[in-house]
Amino acid sequence: MQTLPVSGKTPEFESLVADVKSCTICKNHLPSGVRPVFQLHPAASILIAGQAPGRKVHQSGIPFDDASGRRLREWLGISVEDFYNPEVVAILPMGFCYPGTGISGDLPPRSECEPAWRALLLAQLPHLKITIVLGKYAHDYHFGNKKQSLTQNVQAWQDHWPHRVPMPHPSPRNNRWLSQNRWFQAQLIPRLQKRIGAILAQ
Q: Domains in the chain and their CATH numbers? A: 11-201 (3.40.470.10)
Q: What is the pLDDT of residues 38-95, one digit of tens each?
A: 999 999 999 999 999 999 999 999 999 999 999 999 999 999 999 999 999 999 999 9
Local confidence band at 145 (pLDDT 50, 70, 90 cut-offs) = confident
Residue 135 DSSP class:
S
Determine the Cα–Cα distance for residues 73 and 78; give it in Å rounded to an integer: 5
Q: What is the pLDDT of residues 92-143, one digit of tens each?
A: 999 999 999 988 788 999 999 999 999 999 999 999 999 999 999 999 999 9
DSSP per position, 31-87: TT------B--TT--EEEE-----HHHHHH--TT-SHHHHHHHHHHT--HHHHT-TT
Residue 141's Cα: distance from chain center in Å? 12
Local confidence band at 8 (pLDDT 50, 70, 90 cut-offs) = confident
